[in-house]
Amino acid sequence: MKAVLGDTVIAEAPKDQLISIEGNWYFPPSSVNSELLSDSATPYTCPWKGECQYFSVKDSSTDAGAPEQWLQDRAWSYPTPYPSGIEKVGKDFSNYVAFWKEVKVVD
């Protein structure tokens, strides 16, 4: 499966390596092109998953010579999920990355 923004692949991994949580696909950290992500300061703590790290995603579809554009908070992960969250999911999802809005997850 792939997480794509326009024609740019941000993450890619076999489906059996992804984790589905609440309708979102979480990609293993090693499958994500970290050069296309930038830490966001947006705070959020999920009551059952733990403290979230949001990321802005680089939009590589801008015209040559145009300034870089970053789409704020289009990806997130849980660096240190609560043990009860890991138990609920059935697998350790530490640092797995999920995407939303313009970033599409496709087969």
The whole-angstrom separation of Cα 16 and Cα 3 is 15
For the cut 80, the answer to whether the pLDDT of residue 61 exceeds it is no
Q: Where are the domains of the chain?
A: 2-106
For residues 64 and 23, the model is more confident at 23
For the cut 70, the answer to whether the pLDDT of residue 63 exceeds it is no
Are the C-beta atoms of 36 and 22 separated by less than 8 Å? Answer: no
CATH 1.20.1630.10 given to domain 2-106: no
Mean pLDDT, the chain, rounded, equals 94
* Least confident residue range of 64-68, 77-81, 90-94: 64-68
Q: How far is CA 64 from CA 35, 48, 53, 94, in A?
A: 18, 43, 30, 36
pTM above 0.85, yes or no: yes
Read off φ and ψ for residue 67, nearest 5 degrees: -65, 150
For the cut 90, the answer to whether the pLDDT of residue 67 exceeds it is no
Q: Which two tokens stand for residue 59?
A: 């939009």
